[in-house]
Structure 1
């Protein structure tokens, strides 16, 4: 552990706290946070994004564009468990010609970008919370037994006010 950088040490300590947290038995009558998240995706976020012209499902959506990969992806935290799921929204606008060039040079990139992967300075990417007036990374919690309605409302509001306009602005920029 002596070889860890200060940043790695903080991450390691956070992981230890998470790993050894008190765990309680879930009651069968209360849906798990994962089930609530899946239902929010299916009943709220997916239909909203498709109504706004995006295609996709399962937390990955694309705004159709001839020139750009305009992507929106939901990302769950690695620290989620049976009591809580935290998630954020990633946005990417990557020129198709730039992607093709990069992918040809590095075939491991694949045929198309993923909205939850950070590619580097050549790709325009952000998290939804960073483009809100607060300007900070934002992770929404779904906690077992707590009404998820306010979380869904906040996500929908941020998507409509900031996320979708940001994506649309990126794909209308001059090349």
Structure 2
């Protein structure tokens, strides 16, 4: 049995049922859940490109893609892929094996059926503790906006990313029409180094807000 097959079967038997309990659907290492507003929570088990039949390394990606952010992505991409990939999320981070040093990019390693079962049990525990419930909470728009205002979008956080965080919050606020707060955020966006893209976003957000009264 290859490492890939061992992982796939263990995910099917252990993580798949847990995903369904939490309202997520999918298979093969990808599970998704949406809300009535069109926001998507995504869990993805990513295998390293350096894996082979005998040894496989993998990590869990968590992603939350609010519909306003996806609408901006559609503006830039022309068309959104189906299904929505975790890479298009506004909030993105990884879950690592239990015991991985803080700040390290630890991955699970699988060589066959026995260690795949142990690895996937640990994945299931990490998801139960800090995966399914966290993403489910972010499917609430108020909670997602609070997350943005906490200056923490997983991989992107802190004052050094002020322009990106302002863009994220502006996308969410554009749903509610024009406001002084939206204008303030867009002024910050306009100072981003990639000025052409920044000004395109400003135009998009103002157009979007203008159609929502």
- TM-score, normalization: structure 1? 0.69
Q: How many residues align?
A: 140
Alpha-carbon distance, 1:169 to partner: 2.4
Contact 1:91 1:126 in 2 (8 A): yes
Counterpart contact for 2:8–2:29, Cα < 8 Å: no
1:139–1:104 CA distance, 2 compared to 1 (3 A): same
Bigger Cα displacement from structure 2, 146-155 vs 57-66: 146-155
Q: Which runs of 5+ in 2 are unaligned?
A: 146-213
The Cα shift of 1:133 comes to 8.6
| Bigger helix share | 2
State the match for 1:39 in structure 2. 9
Return the index of the structure with the highest Cα Rg. 2
> CA-atom RMSD, angstroms?
2.4
Change (3 A) 1:61 1:146: closer
Match of residue 165 from structure 2: none
In the alignment, which residue of structure 1 is the partner of 2:67?
A: 96
1:124 aligned to 91, 96, 104, which one?
Answer: 91
Change (3 A) 1:134 1:164: farther
Per the normalisation by structure 2, the TM-score is: 0.58
1:120-175 alpha-carbon deviations (Å, 9 max, x no partner)? xx811111239x99453331111137533321221111010011122122222414
Is 33-42 or 100-109 further displaced after alignment?
100-109
* Runs (5+) with no aligned partner, structure 1: 1-30
Q: Superposition pairs for residues 17-96 of structure 1, below 5 Å?
A: 31-67=1-37, 68-96=39-67
Could you say if the C-alpha distance between residues 171 and 136 of structure 1 is closer, same or farther in structure 2, counting changes exceeding 3 Å? farther
Contact 2:14 2:121 in 1 (8 A): no
